[in-house]
Amino acid sequence: MRFPLVFLLTLTAPLWAFGQLISNPYPADPAALAVGGATTASATGVNAVYSNPAGLAYGKGTQGRLAYHQLYGLSFLSHMSAAAFTAVPNAPHGIALGVQTLGTREGGHTMASETEAFLSHGFLLQQDIHSSLAVGYTLKLISYSLGESVVNEQGISENLGDAATFGLDVGGMAQLWDRFKIGAAFHNINRPQFGSSVAKRNLPQVFSGGFGYSPYYGVLTTFDVERLISGETQFKGGMNAAVVKPLDLRLGIMTNPNSFTAGFGLHWRELVVDYAFLYHPILNPSHQIGIGFNLDKSLPELWRAK
């Protein structure tokens, strides 16, 4: 029991100095990326923290995830994420915390970094034998740093600047029987900004809506529409199929740019390993790997059992 407790406490510690989420990159979770990022209506528990916080209400026990993504095979561009989740005993609530980062680093020097640390909460508003409705929110601390300049003739480098702000995500999710799910989420609904009053930069506001359908046990198909409020619209679709008990196979597509994704998930006892492959029409393919755990008991129950 001690391992998951220590893991939860230390999961995010190594990542606080790096960076995300101004650039709005691909999903931080390989399970989501492998189905084209179409998880607004389907992700639950720890897998819901980056797409729709309402999905936390459907999570069980205690879960943790750690993922790494080297975008387009570029050694200087890395995206990392870590999250931990626990259900609330005897209540339809779920709580998660974590970070995700995006950094441009070369030769031991950080040229630019973005960091997002967050706390999420999801809870059920209504539940009966046939349907349920959940809502959730995420509070985010977002920071951005340009690192330091090159060393001048005097041997001195200058800090090129950094900034921080707060963001708010909200979401809702509904389930009808065990087959149909719908969901919607609004990221950065509070319009967070960086910069001074004369040169402010708005962080991306993203609205997403989607549905999921399970034609039979072990297969889930999903479809999302994602709209960048100040920009373009993306369409996403995917499928997750439990082929055999420890193995899930995943496929997905997305537009703007037109790409396809694939991956798998391995579940062995409490251990979870996820992998995602992203094909880009111009840039090199990307590989994302994640590792984590799923426990049947919530964190308070684990603590009492210690």
Domains of the chain with bracketed CATH: 2-305 (2.40.160.60)
Q: Higher confidence at residue 77 or residue 195? A: 77
Pick from 42-51, 68-77, 99-108, 164-173: least confident? 99-108
The CA–CA distances, whole Å, from 95 to 41, 65, 166, 243 equal 18, 14, 19, 30
For the chain, give the percent of residues with pLDDT over 90. 56
- The pLDDT score that the predictor gives to residue 293 is 96
Beta bridge mates, 274: 265, 290
CB burial of 176-185 (b: ≥16 within 10 Å; e: otherwise) equals: eeeeebbbbb
Amino acid at 276: A
- CA torsion 150→154→156→160, rounded to 10°? -50
Chain segment 222-270, per-residue pLDDT in tens: 999 999 988 889 999 999 999 888 999 999 999 988 999 999 999 998 9
The structure's pTM equals 0.85
Of the pLDDT bands very low, low, confident and very high (cuts 50, 70, 90), residue 219 is very high
> Distances from the Cα of 208 to the Cαs of 172, 180, 219, 232, in angstroms?
11, 17, 22, 12
> Average pLDDT, stretch 91-111?
83
Average pLDDT over residues 281-303: 91
Residue tagged 């995500």 (tokens): 169
Q: Apex CA 29: angle with CA 296 and CA 97, to 5°?
A: 60
* Lowest-confidence pick of 14-23, 99-108, 198-207, 250-259: 14-23
Tens digits of per-residue pLDDT, 17-26? 333 345 566 7
25-61 pLDDT, tens per residue? Answer: 678 899 999 999 999 999 999 999 999 999 999 999 9
